[in-house]
Amino acid sequence: MVKKKGIPITVANIDDKFYEFYNRYPHMNAAFHNGVLKGKVLTCPLHYATFDMTTGKKLRTNN
């Protein structure tokens, strides 16, 4: 996690491309950098929702 203009940003290297995104899940304000990244899918450590980090789309919600 880094800060860009004071905003917490997570940076991920996925298939040799860098993606940056706001470092908070939409639910419970959890930090993305605490999740598990496998390929391009990031899993929330609190409720196991999954997100495609190359598009920003939510893939699955478990809460």
pTM above 0.95, yes or no: no
Q: Say yes or no to pLDDT of 63 above 80.
A: no
Q: How far is CA 42 from the centre of its chain?
A: 6
Residues 6+ apart with CB under 8 A from 48: 60, 62
Q: How far is CA 5 from the centre of its chain?
A: 19
Q: Which of 53, 42, 47, 9 is nearest to 28 (CA)?
A: 47
pLDDT digits (tens, 9 = 90+) for 18-41: 998 888 877 677 787 888 999 999
Angle at 29 between CA 23 and CA 35, to 5 degrees: 55
Domains along the chain? 2-60 (2.102.10.10)
